Amino acid sequence: MPINLEEIKKRSFNTGEIIGETKNSFIIPTAYATLKQSAFHLGKKHWLTGVGAGNHGIYFHELKEEGLFPKHIPDYDPHSTYFGSFAEIGIFGLSAILYLTFVLFKMSNHLLTTKKYYNLKVATSACLLIFFMEAISVDAINFRHLWLIFAILSAIYNLEQNDKT
């Protein structure tokens, strides 16, 4: 069955631009790539304060009207904690997210040095690492289960700090 490339290029999940091709397939960036590009573009343009929390879609629509991005892609959020923070709340917001990531990673790493609650610490640390990686392509800050992991790690950390005194 022949591939109708023109029909595929019109779908909202991709840009419609072919960036690579083999004998049997095409490489077409998805809407996710475009959303990250638009978030980075907005972040560079409004680097200090961003465009406002939750306003990526409004500004993305304007960028599409200017011809910078394909018009057939819906006005979604950036689908990235890091790029979305940069676009919507600026360099200070991105710095806060990165600082939170650093502190939690450091806390998790410190907790793994002792044997008490070791299995729980490994499990929550692994979940945290997955969340940090997943945050590249989703807005993980809105995940309630991420905040539960934060709470568990904080509780274990506080228990260990109290045991030392």
pLDDT at 1: 55
45 confidence band (pLDDT: 50, 70, 90): very high
- As given in the structure block, the two tokens for residue 48 are 């200090």
CA distances from 75 to 28, 111, 117 (A): 19, 41, 45
Q: Which residues contact 40 (CB under 8 A, 6 or more apart)?
A: 83, 86, 87
Q: What is the pLDDT of residues 117-126, one digit of tens each?
A: 788 888 888 8
- 136-154 confidence digits (pLDDT tens): 988 888 788 888 888 888 8
Q: 39 pLDDT band (50/70/90 cuts)?
A: very high
- Mind listing the pLDDT tens digit for each residue in 73-97? 888 888 899 999 999 999 999 999 9
pLDDT digit string, tens, across residues 9-22? 667 677 778 888 88
| Mean of pLDDT over the chain | 86
Amino acid present at 31: A
